[in-house]
Structure 1
């Protein structure tokens, strides 16, 4: 689940701009990307994989599969879960999960700045 990232400093006088998507590839394919990071943030916010998945209109199984993939590629858990009981189960981010979110958004900002710079450098002959 990737979304398109747009240049933040789009020049309104131009007819075109550079766009792109950013994700981190791991040994098993996508490790971190926009949708996966939002899932981690929602787990942090809701304290529940089920509620996080529901808020993203995603099945619990799909969310669990994404988490399993991220955990395997990270070499450790990004999310810890606890089983239900009187108080019910839950999920929380580990320090590695928090670091994954921070790292992704830091590089996301750099990527957006690069797209903006590239757009500013477009030759007016190409994009009026």
Structure 2
């Protein structure tokens, strides 16, 4: 059985930040590209860009800044606010996982062994 994990979806008014958007931000930070981050998540560029636009519109300033292509090539990076939002979200995930560890273990113990004895 794989280790249990907690997936956190935070809704504040009409804005939502969850594991997919956080992973997309992580991918953009790592690759410097919305397209590459989306590909790494098996997501189309259109979907990745749509999520970036959604996040950029939900916060007081953009989380992702895009640089248009050209001789040097384009790219994207997290803004200072994007870095802060991602850091705070990951910290909240860790706190929730730590606080819920006992309950997660208890729920895990109540599951049926689906491995068939393998």
TM over 0.5: yes
Structure 1 residues not aligned, in runs of 5+ = 8-19
Out of 23, 42, 62, which is 1:38 matched to? 23
Q: 1:90 to 1:111 in 2, by over 3 A?
A: same
Which residue of structure 1 lines up, in the alignment, with residue 73 of structure 2?
Answer: 88
Q: TM-score, normalised by structure 2?
A: 0.79
The count of aligned residue pairs is: 106
1:29-108 alignment, distance < 5 Å: 29-30=15-16, 32-108=17-93
Kindly indicate which of the two structures has a greater share of residues assigned to strand. 1
Is 1:6–1:112's contact at 8 Å kept on the other side of the alignment?
Answer: no
Structure 2 residues not aligned, in runs of 5+ = 111-118
Which protein has greater RCO, CA pairs closer than 8 Å, 6+ apart? 1
The DSSP-based 3-state class of the residue aligned with 1:6 is coil
How far is 1:94 from its partner?
A: 0.3
Computed over aligned residues only, the root mean square deviation of the Cα atoms, in angstroms, reads 2.1
Which residue of structure 1 lines up, in the alignment, with residue 9 of structure 2?
Answer: 23
